[in-house]
Amino acid sequence: MAAEFSNEFMISIQQGFLDRMEFFGLEAKMLLCNVDPALQISQEEDLIVQGVDALVIRPADSEIAETLIEIAEQNQIPVFLYDCYIQEENVVSVITTDNYAIGQIAAESMGQYLLEKRGEAEGKIAILSGNQANSSHTERVRGFREYIQNVYPEIDIVAESSVLSEEKILDTTQDWMTIYGSELSGIYSVTDFNTVIAVEGIESQGYSTNWREENGIIVISTDGTPDSIALIRDHRLAGVVSQNAVKIGEKSAEIVEQYLTEKKQVNSFYYIPSMLITSENIDSEAVQSFGLWADWYRERTTGGGEKSWKE
């Protein structure tokens, strides 16, 4: 049960899951609710009537998760959650990335970039914080803020915005550059889907996002989408803390198979590793071993055939 299928990250998670389920010979049905909680509840009820053996859910938002879990429990259907951080005893397993740690990685890289650029880890920065109903986004912000506060107290977070539309992201970024100008040293964006617009906003005000340039703004992002990887290669993004969308999907399928088919005891949480990708390391063996899911996505959507990180 997918919350959405509207961006490369979600498409890659879900396709990775479906590919792996097919590999295991298990039937999987995917339903999309387009981030509509009421529709997702209705879909769950329909699936239960159809007699499914398990529910693998990405909740439309954090608040609706409890209801979805309760309905499944009442019908004795095991629940697996993916790409979210929800602690519920009635969930078999949660497969996700450690979003708090992602925020910390982003904060550490921001501090190191400032140290290299200015000689001191200090300056004014801002946060594009994403969807406040999305636990992944709020955990990243919490990790980022707490790391800055504890490790780099001379870095001042002067602004934070949770705007979601492209128009408002552009307006917000332009406003920040107008208000703070060259005093704004960096921006942390919790999701790549804000970052591309933010980069455009910065550049439209006459500033660079190549952090090595004199007027360059340090922009750190999260996800590792094709667009952000292109910005990395073009030296217009300092770094992206990449999740591996395909691995999240594949791991989710593996845990379901172990639980349903092999009757194995599975862990309550599985964290898929993240990695900071920069223009300096993007072609390294370490990054290639980690896996650029953006390349996988391009191959699949341009007819390059199937590919699994296990192959």
Q: How far apart are CA 244 and CA 184, in angstroms?
A: 30
Cα separation, 281 vs 101, whole angstroms = 20
pLDDT tens for 134-178 read 788 999 999 999 999 999 999 999 999 987 788 999 999 999 999
Which residue from 135, 186, 190 is spatially nearest to 156, judged by alpha carbons?
186
pLDDT in tens, 248-293: 999 999 999 999 999 999 999 999 999 999 999 999 999 988 988 8
Three-state secondary structure string covering 88-146: CCCCCEEEECCHHHHHHHHHHHHHHHHHHHHCCCCEEEEEECCCCCCHHHHHHHHHHHH
What six digits make up the tokens of 175? 């406003």
pLDDT confidence tier of residue 235, bands split at 50, 70 and 90: very high
Q: In what order do the strands lie in the sheet with 55-57?
A: 55-57, 79-82, 93-96, 269-271
Domains, the chain, ranges and CATH? 8-97+245-273 (3.40.50.2300), 99-242 (3.40.50.2300)
Helix (H) or strand (E) holding 167: helix 166-180
The strand pairing partners of 277, in sequence order, are: 240
Name, in order, each residue with C-beta under 8 angstroms of 295's C-beta and a sequence gap of 6 or more.
229
Statement: the pTM of the whole predicted model exceeds 0.85: yes
